[in-house]
Amino acid sequence: MQMQPDTRKLLTTGLGIFGTGMLAAALMLTVFGGVSRQGPHTTGGWLALMVAMGCLPTGLLTLLLALSKLAGKRDRS
């Protein structure tokens, strides 16, 4: 299926942002000392938490927009 350039850009951008959030969350839980009830144990863990909290919802919404553009194009074809 041929995609429009803007749809391809939305998919790559969404995947990049979402992947960054997933990586930050994984690093927060493993490398940066984990998370307790009161939050991450290190300053790096807090930074990774902030990156994850920003990137995960933004990346997910960008991916949903790209997927809806793909579904809309399929309906018109």
CB 18 within 8 A of CB 55: yes
pLDDT for 72 equals: 85
Task: Give the per-residue pLDDT at 75.
Answer: 67
Report the pLDDT value the prediction gives residue 56, as an integer from 0 to 100: 98
Q: Residue count of the chain, please give it.
A: 77
Per-residue pLDDT tens, the chain, 77 aa: give them. 678 889 999 999 999 999 999 999 999 999 999 999 999 999 999 999 999 999 999 999 999 999 999 888 776 76
Locate all alpha helices (DSSP H) within the chain, ordered by sequence: 5-29, 43-76
Residues 6+ apart with CB under 8 A from 37: none
CA 22 to CA 54: how far, in whole Å? 11
CB 17 within 8 A of CB 55: yes
